[in-house]
């Protein structure tokens, strides 16, 4: 098995992040730094990260967090900002599936399985995610059609989302959106291009997983049938 794959399956990081760790000289094999992500592990090789032995994790763990605003989606931060790992009291090493920006709240999944994280976060798999947001005024029909087709969001990228529902509440408009691509800050960039003021943004569904009544700042393990649904997407 390649070193990068071994690290992702062991819950150290996603495959892509594992490659970065290796190339940053943070992984040792039998006491020696290994910089090649494609190094093929031998039976008796001892892999260490952060001075701890990395063991191949067979049991799949997936947890759901209701992320509050003000936390960045990272497991470590050299600037000592608030990070999502501060909210998770878990001995097993897990990492986020995709990201929510600092000011976005709601459903964030974590796992110890790199392959599952890649499958669920990569844009080409089109995993639907549902968000609720508050804006200053509703979208008219031509705007909804434009957003559903494509909107230029800068940096040579196009964003798209489906407006599922919108209703006025106390002078503001609550909009429910479905997103599949998951580009960086995609909804915020769409709102900016559509000249809307965005007051809050919350993810409430990720594929078959729903946030439900999970309170802000709390987390729970996904049940085996929920994990199976994610694997079968």
DSSP-assigned letter for residue 140: P
Same structural domain for residues 45 and 92?
no
Residue 194 maps to a domain: yes
Greatest CA span in the chain, whole angstroms? 65
Same structural domain for residues 136 and 196?
yes
Same structural domain for residues 86 and 36?
no
Consecutive H or E run containing 129? strand 129-135
Same structural domain for residues 189 and 217?
no
Same structural domain for residues 146 and 178?
yes
What's the burial of 195, exposed, middle or buried (CB within 10 Å: 0-12/13-18/19+)? exposed
CATH number of domain containing 79: 3.30.70.580
Same structural domain for residues 202 and 213?
no
Same structural domain for residues 158 and 196?
yes
Whole-number Cα distances in Å, 211 to 34, 207, 214, 218, 220: 40, 11, 6, 11, 10
Q: Which domain holds residue 10?
A: 3-53
pLDDT confidence of residue 228: 87
pLDDT confidence of residue 57: 59
Which one of 101, 136, 165, 225 is the catalytic residue? Answer: 101
Residue 122 maps to a domain: no
Residue 47 maps to a domain: yes
CATH number of domain containing 16: 3.10.290.10
Is the confidence at residue 221, as pLDDT, over 90? yes
Mean pLDDT confidence for 173-181: 95
Q: Where are the alpha helices (DSSP H) in the chain?
A: 3-9, 15-23, 114-121, 141-149, 186-193, 224-231
Same structural domain for residues 132 and 72?
no
- Encoded tokens for 223: 């049940």
pLDDT confidence of residue 231: 82
Number of domains in the chain: 3
Angstrom distance (rounded) from CA 104 to CA 69? 6
Instruction: Render pLDDT for 101-141 as a digit per residue (tens, 0 to 9).
Output: 999 999 999 998 877 888 888 777 789 999 999 999 999 99
Instruction: Render pLDDT for 55-103 as a digit per residue (tens, 0 to 9).
Output: 775 578 999 999 999 999 988 888 999 999 999 988 888 889 989 999 9
Same structural domain for residues 47 and 109?
no
Same structural domain for residues 132 and 190?
yes
Residue 39 maps to a domain: yes
Catalytic status, residue 101 = yes
CATH number of domain containing 141: 3.30.2350.10
Residue 76 maps to a domain: yes
Mean of the per-residue pLDDT values for the chain? 91
DSSP 3-state of 200: strand
pTM above 0.75, yes or no: yes
Residue 123 maps to a domain: no
Residue 170 maps to a domain: yes
Mean pLDDT confidence for 200-216: 96
- Encoded tokens for 207: 């594929």
DSSP-assigned letter for residue 57: -
DSSP-assigned letter for residue 56: -
- DSSP per-residue letters across 180-194: SS--TTHHHHHHHHT
Q: To 10 degrees, what angle do helices 114-121 and 15-23 make?
A: 120
Instruction: Render pLDDT for 134-165 as a digit per residue (tens, 0 to 9).
Output: 999 999 999 999 999 999 999 999 999 999 99
Residues 6+ apart with CB under 8 A from 37: 2, 3, 4, 18, 19, 22, 23
Residue 80 maps to a domain: yes
């Amino acid at each position: 098995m390649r070193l990068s794959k071994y690290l992702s399956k062991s819950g150290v990081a996603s495959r892509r992040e594992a490659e970065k760790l290796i190339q940053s000289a943070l992984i040792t094999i039998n006491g020696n730094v290994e910089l090649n992500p494609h190094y093929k592990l031998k039976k008796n090789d001892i892999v260490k990260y952060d001075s701890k032995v990395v063991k191949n994790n067979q049991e799949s763990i997936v947890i759901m967090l209701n992320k509050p605003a003000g936390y960045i989606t990272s497991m470590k931060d050299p600037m000592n900002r608030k990070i999502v790992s501060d909210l998770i009291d878990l001995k097993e090493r897990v990492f986020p599936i995709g990201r929510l920006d600092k000011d976005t709240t709601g459903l964030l999944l974590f796992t110890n399985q790199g392959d599952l994280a890649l499958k669920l976060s990569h844009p080409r798999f089109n995993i639907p995610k549902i968000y609720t947001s508050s804006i200053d005024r509703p979208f008219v029909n031509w705007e909804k059609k434009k957003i559903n087709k494509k909107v230029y969001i800068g940096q040579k990228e196009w964003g798209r989302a489906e407006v599922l529902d919108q209703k006025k509440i106390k002078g503001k408009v609550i909009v429910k959106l479905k997103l599949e691509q998951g580009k960086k800050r995609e909804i915020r960039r769409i709102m900016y291009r559509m000249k809307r003021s965005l007051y809050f943004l919350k993810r409430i569904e990720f594929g078959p997983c729903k946030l439900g009544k999970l309170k802000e700042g709390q987390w729970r393990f996904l049940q085996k049938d929920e994990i199976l649904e994610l694997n079968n997407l």
